[in-house]
Chains A and B, each alone.
Chain A
Amino acid sequence: AQSVAQPEDQVNVAEGNPLTVKCTYSVSGNPYLFWYVQYPNRGLQFLLKYITGDNLVKGSYGFEAEFNKSQTSFHLKKPSALVSDSALYFCAVRDSEGQNFVFGPGTRLSVLP
C-alpha cells in the first residue's frame, strides 16, 4: 500500500532564509510524486511533480524538490522564503500502476517577516 509521511506539522522560517518541507513515501512500484500548496479556504494548487528523469525538479513560485530513491524522499525546497509562501503544503504519491493519490498529512509553513 502507498503511504506518505510529512514528519513536521509546522515549519517556521524567517523571510529570506531557505526553507525545506520534508516528505518521505512508500510505494510498491515506481513513484509518481507531487507537491501541492493550499491557502486558507482554497483548493489545492499544483507546485511540481516528479515522474521520471532528473532527480531535481523545478516548479512554480521558485520551489524545487529533489527525488532521492535510496532515502525514499521528496523534500520541497526554496532558496529564499517569502511571507506569501505561508500556507499548508501537501506531498502526494501514486505508483505507476495505480490511479489514486495518497496525500501526506500536510505541513504548515509560516514565513516570518
Chain B
Amino acid sequence: GAVVSQHPSRVICKSGTSVKIECRSLDFQATTMFWYRQFPKKSLMLMATSNEGSKATYEQGVEKDKFLINHASLTLSTLTVTSAHPEDSSFYICSGQGAIFSYNEQFFGPGTRLTVL
C-alpha cells in the first residue's frame, strides 16, 4: 500500500507560538491531501481538503487564518497552527489521495500529537 509520513510525530510548544506539521506521500503523488483533527477518545474531524497548487477548502467552523495549509507539491502538504493556544492541543492526522488509486482511496499518516502549554 501507499505510505504517508508525518513530521514531527510529537511536538510541545508554548502558547502563542506557531507550529508546522509536514505530511509527505512517500511513494505516490498525492493530488489531494486531507487534514483531520482527533480529540481524545473521539472520531476524526475533517479540517480541510487541499489540492496541489490550489487553496485549501476548509470545513465549516475551522479557522483558515489559524490553520494554514499549504500543498505546494504532489508529495508534501503542511499544516501550520498559528499562535497556538492550549485548546489547539490535539492529534492531527493527514491523508493523501492519488490519481493512480481507484475509488479515491485515502492513505493516512501516523499522526502528530500537538501539546500547547
Contact = CB atoms under 8 A, between A and B. Distances in A.
Interface of A: 32, 36, 41-46, 49, 51, 88, 90, 94, 98-101, 103-106, 108
Interface centre among A32, A36, A43, A99, by most chain B C-beta atoms within 10 angstroms, is: A43
Contacts of A108: 41
Interface residues of B, number: 25
Given A42-B110, A43-B109, A90 B103 contact: no
Top 8 A-B pairs, shortest CB-CB distance: A43-B110, A44-B108, A43-B111, A105-B43, A43-B108, A103-B44, A103-B43, A106-B43
A43 B32 contact: no
A86 B6 CA distance: 24
Nearest to B112: A43
Contacts of B43: 90, 103-106
Given A51-B103, A90-B44, A103-B44, A41 B91 contact: yes
Contacts of B105: 49
Interface string B72-107: 000000000000000000010101010000111111
A106 B42 contact: yes
Contacts, number: 50
A24 B29 CA distance: 32
Interface centre among A104, A106, A108, by most chain B C-beta atoms within 10 angstroms, is: A106
Contacts of A43: 6, 93, 108-111
B67 interface: no
B70 interface: no
A99 B34 CA distance: 10
A88 B39 CA distance: 13
Interface string B26-65: 0000001010000001111010010000000000000000
A108 B42 CA distance: 10
A36 B109 CA distance: 13
Nearest to A51: B103
A32 B34 CA distance: 18
A105 B42 contact: yes
A41 B104 CA distance: 26
A41 B93 CA distance: 11
